[in-house]
C-alpha cells in the first residue's frame, strides 16, 4: 500500500484534508543536483539509463516532498522506438533529421514491440519504485498522438507547426495512418508502464491548442479517446491539453480521471466547462514562480480556494521553467502542504 495516497484519492474524487501537489517537469532542469548529472550525460543517455532516470525522478521528492513523482523521461522516446531518428540538440531542443512528409515516409514507420524497444523505461520505473519505497505514487506519461506527429513532421519545435498542419490538411489519409500508428504504440507503451508499476498516467497534448476545435476533434481528441478507453480500467488517466479549454466539455465525458488546465483558463471557467464533477489539475502560471516566495504562497492559497480543495490536484499550468529559484519552487509546494481549507 502507498503510504501517502492523497493524489490517488483526489483522482477518485474523494474528500481530502488538502489537495495533493506535484509539478510538471519537477524532475529536472531547475535543480542544482540535476545540473550535476546533466554535465556528465547527454539528454537521451539520461532517459535511457535506468539508474540515472530513477535518480532524477526522486531528486525533487527528497528536496520538497511532493505528493506524487513523475518518471523522468521524454515524450519523444516513442518516435525513437518507431524507427524515427530524434536528437536533442543543446540550446535548440528536439531535432528530427528525417521528418515525415510523404506516404512513403509513413509506411516506413513501425509499431514496435515496446517491451523490447522501450525496455529501459520499464527498468527505470522498477528502479524508481524501489527508491520511492511505497511512500508516494509514481506517474507515467506519454505525448498525445497529435503532439508527437507535430515533431515528427515539423522536424523540430515550432511556433505554429505549419508543416505538421499542412501535412494533415493536404495528406489526411497519410496523417491519420501516422496518428494511428502513434496511438497503437502509445497504448502498448502506457500499458507496459502500468504493468511495470506506475500508479497513474498522464497524456500531454502540448500542441493541441494549435488546432481549431473541429480539427482538434479530428486530429487529436479522437486518438486521445482511444488511449483513455484502452487504459481507464487499468489506471487513472490524466489528460493535459495546453490551450484546449474549448475541448474541456468533451474531455469531461471521456472517462479520464482528471483534466489538466493551463493558466489561461480560470478555475471558475474550468469547473463550468467540465460540469463540476471531474477532478481538475493545474493551473499556476509557471512564470509566476519567479515572483517572491511570499507572493507565491498567497497566490497558491487563492488558487486552491478558487478550485476548491476536493476533486483538485495542485500543479502548474505547464512545465516548470529552468530559471525558477529552488526556494520559489519550495514555496509553491509548502503553500499546498500548509493549506487549511
Q: Is 48 annotated as a binding residue?
A: no
Q: What is 161-199 written as a DSSP string?
A: -HHHHHHHHH-HHHHHHHHHHHHHHHHHHHHHHHHHT-S
206 is in an annotated binding site: yes
Do residues 326 and 63 touch, judged by C-beta distance below 8 A? yes
72 annotated as belonging to a binding site for a ligand: no
d(CA 204, CA 190): 13
Instruction: Answer yes or no: is 331 a known binding residue.
Output: no
Does 41 show up as a binding residue in the annotation? no
Percent helix, strand and coil across the chain, each to the nearest 5: 50, 10, 35
Which candidate, 83, 81, 145, 143, places its Cα nearest to that of 113?
81
Binding residue per annotation — 46?
Answer: no
Q: CB-based contacts of 327: which residues, under 8 Å, 6+ apart?
A: 293
Task: Record the cell numbers describing residue 53, joined without a space.
Answer: 532516470
Q: Is the separation of the CB atoms in 82 and 106 below 8 Å?
A: no
- 95 annotated to bind ligand: no
90-125 burial, b at 16+ Cβ within 10 Å, e below that, comes to eeeebebeebbbeeebbeebeebebeebbbebbbbb
64 assigned ligand-binding residue: no
320, three cell numbers: 516548470
| 177 annotated binding-site participant | no
| Residue 27 labelled as part of a binding site | yes
**CA 282/CA 259 separation, integer angstroms:** 9
237 φψ region: left (φ > 0), alpha (ψ -120 to 50), beta (else): beta
Annotated binding site for substrate: 25-29, 44, 74, 151, 206, 318
Positions at the binding site: 25-29, 44, 74, 151, 206, 318
Amino acid at each position: 500500500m502507498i503510504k501517502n495516497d492523497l493524489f490517488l484519492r483526489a483522482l477518485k474524487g474523494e474528500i481530502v484534508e488538502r489537495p495533493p501537489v506535484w509539478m510538471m517537469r519537477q524532475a529536472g532542469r531547475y535543480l542544482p543536483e540535476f545540473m550535476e548529472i546533466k554535465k556528465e550525460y547527454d539528454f537521451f543517455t539520461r532517459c535511457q539509463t535506468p539508474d540515472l532516470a530513477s535518480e532524477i525522478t526522486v531528486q525533487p521528492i527528497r528536496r520538497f516532498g511532493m505528493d506524487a513523482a513523475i518518471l523522468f523521461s521524454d515524450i519523444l522516446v516513442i518516435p525513437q522506438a518507431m524507427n524515427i531518428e530524434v536528437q536533442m540538440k543543446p540550446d535548440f531542443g528536439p531535432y528530427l533529421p528525417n521528418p515525415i512528409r510523404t506516404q512513403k515516409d509513413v509506411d516506413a514507420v513501425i509499431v514496435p514491440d515496446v517491451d523490447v524497444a522501450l525496455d529501459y523505461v520499464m527498468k527505470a520505473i522498477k528502479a524508481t519504485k524501489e527508491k520511492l519505497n511505497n511512500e508516494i505514487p509514481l506517474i507515467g506519461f506519454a505525448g498525445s498522438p497529435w503532439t508527437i506527429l507535430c515533431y515528427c513532421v515539423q522536424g523540430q519545435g515550432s511556433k505554429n507547426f505549419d508543416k505538421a498542419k499542412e501535412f494533415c490538411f493536404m495528406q489526411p489519409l497519410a496523417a491519420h495512418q501516422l496518428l494511428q500508428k502513434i496511438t497503437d504504440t502509445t497504448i502498448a507503451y502506457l500499458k507496459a508502464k502500468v504493468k511495470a508499476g506506475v500508479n497513474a498516467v498522464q497524456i500531454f497534448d502540448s500542441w493541441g491548442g494549435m488546432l481549431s476545435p473541429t480539427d482538434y476533434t479530428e486530429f487529436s481528441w479522437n486518438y486521445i479517446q482511444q488511449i483513455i478507453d484502452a487504459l481507464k480500467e487499468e489506471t487513472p488517466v490524466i489528460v493535459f491539453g495546453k490551450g484546449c479549454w474549448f475541448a474541456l466539455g468533451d474531455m469531461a465525458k471521456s472517462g479520464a480521471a482528471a483534466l489538466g488546465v493551463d493558466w489561461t483558463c480560470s478555475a471558475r471557467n474550468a469547473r463550468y466547462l467540465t460540469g463540476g464533477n471531474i477532478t481538475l489539475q493545474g493551473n499556476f502560471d509557471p512564470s509566476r514562480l519567479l515572483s517572491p516566495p511570499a507572493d507565491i504562497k498567497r497566490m497558491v492559497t487563492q488558487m486552491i480556494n478558487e478550485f476548491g480543495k476536493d476533486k483538485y490536484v495542485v500543479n502548474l499550468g505547464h512545465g516548470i521553467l529552468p530559471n525558477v529559484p529552488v526556494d520559489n519552487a519550495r514555496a509553491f509546494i509548502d503553500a499546498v502542504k500548509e493549506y487549511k481549507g
